[in-house]
Amino acid sequence: MPRYALITGASRGLGLALAEALARRGRNLILVARQREALESIACELTQRFGIEVLFRTCNLANPLQLTGLLQELEESGLVIDLLVNGAGSGLAGPFLAHDWGDEQRLLELNVLALTRLCHGIGNLMVAAGGGQILNVASLTAFQPGPWLSSHCASAAYVLHLSESLREEFKDYGVKVSVLCPGPVPTAFFRLTGLDEQRLRHSRLLLSPEEVALHAVRALDRDRALIIPGWRNRLVASLHRLLPRALVRWTVGRLYRSLLSRR
């Protein structure tokens, strides 16, 4: 029976880089995102380059009905998923009160609820199949409060804590859980979030999606709980935990405010 790695957010950015890094290792894949054309051409390319089987499913994960449909289909299909990569996510920069509530809700539906539901639904399928592995993508911002990027940073903190908790709970069922906390990565994420791309692209914390994906896949082999690619990023995560909270709030707030793109 073939086994698959299911990757959400696989149509571009970090999810795509993770899909490619896994394809390179001969893993069969199930790619999930909203854009059918992108998924179709990625599936075709990865199949040809690596001789693996690549399936894809379009799903707006922020839509609970579509997510229910996806989970039902996966359950009925009998496909064996031994790796779940929760890579889909979005950000929203700017003053919290000025945001449209619908945008805030979509962020939480995707970053928090969909990820949690996939851990639950696919986690249960893994247990029934005798085990598996889950990689949740959080962010370096998970270690700090993030004024002007408030819900996004809070959702990353949620993913970090959920993943570490599930790691302990799932141990007895043979399901390993890891969490990836990358620093800035040059993807469409900056622009879509409303951050100044030019300034972020000069950050010394920046790593390419391919570097992050390679680091993550190697860390998964070693079953690392917390994966922070790049020594500078690991230093920042440690500092955020050591410095006084008020200082971190103030500094991060000033930084993020200065990074808001003037649209």
For 67, half-sphere exposure in the C-beta direction (CA atoms, 13 angstrom radius) is 19
By beta carbon distance, the residue nearest ligand NAP is 89
182 near ligand NAP, judged by CB under 6 A = yes
Q: Give the helix ranges, DSSP H, for the chain.
A: 13-24, 36-50, 64-77, 101-108, 115-129, 150-170, 189-193, 197-200, 209-221, 231-242, 245-259
Phi, psi of 138, rounded to the nearest 5 degrees: -105, -125
188 near ligand NAP, judged by CB under 6 A = yes
At closest approach, how far in Å is the CB of 1 from ligand NAP?
A: 27
Tell me which residue of 251, 61, 5 sits closest to 146, measured CA to CA: 251
Q: How far, rounded to the nearest angstrom, does the alpha carbon of residue 5 sit from its chain's CA centroid?
A: 14
Span near ligand NAP by CB under 6 A; candidates 3-11, 47-55, 243-251, 253-261: 3-11
Span near ligand NAP by CB under 6 A; candidates 11-19, 76-84, 122-130, 215-223: 11-19
| Contact residue for ligand NAP among 23, 88, 135, 217 (CB under 6 A) | 88
229 near ligand NAP, judged by CB under 6 A = no
At closest approach, how far in Å is the CB of 217 from ligand NAP?
A: 15
Span near ligand NAP by CB under 6 A; candidates 32-40, 74-82, 167-175, 220-228: 32-40
15 near ligand NAP, judged by CB under 6 A = yes
Of 108 and 127, nearer to ligand NAP (C-beta) is 108
User: What does the alpha-carbon distance between residue 159 and residue 67 come to, in Å, rounded to a whole number?
Assistant: 18
Dihedral over Cα of 238, 215, 56, 83: its sign: negative
62 near ligand NAP, judged by CB under 6 A = yes
| Contact residue for ligand NAP among 110, 122, 166, 179 (CB under 6 A) | 110
11 near ligand NAP, judged by CB under 6 A = yes
137 near ligand NAP, judged by CB under 6 A = yes
At closest approach, how far in Å is the CB of 224 from ligand NAP?
A: 17
Give the pairing of strands 54-58 and 132-137: unpaired
Tell me which residue of 13, 4, 7 sits closest to 192, measured CA to CA: 13
Of 63 and 124, nearer to ligand NAP (C-beta) is 63
Span near ligand NAP by CB under 6 A; candidates 20-28, 73-81, 88-96, 244-252: 88-96
User: What does the alpha-carbon distance between residue 20 and residue 239 come to, in Å, rounded to a whole number?
Assistant: 32
Q: DSSP secondary structure string, 144-178?
A: S--TTSHHHHHHHHHHHHHHHHHHHHHGGGTEEEE
194 near ligand NAP, judged by CB under 6 A = no
13: left (phi over 0), alpha (psi -120 to 50) or beta: left
Contacts (Cβ under 8 Å, ≥6 apart) of 197: 186, 190, 191, 261
- Give me the residues that bind ligand NAP (CB under 6 A), please: 8-15, 33-35, 38, 59-62, 87-91, 110, 137, 139, 182, 184-185, 187-189, 192
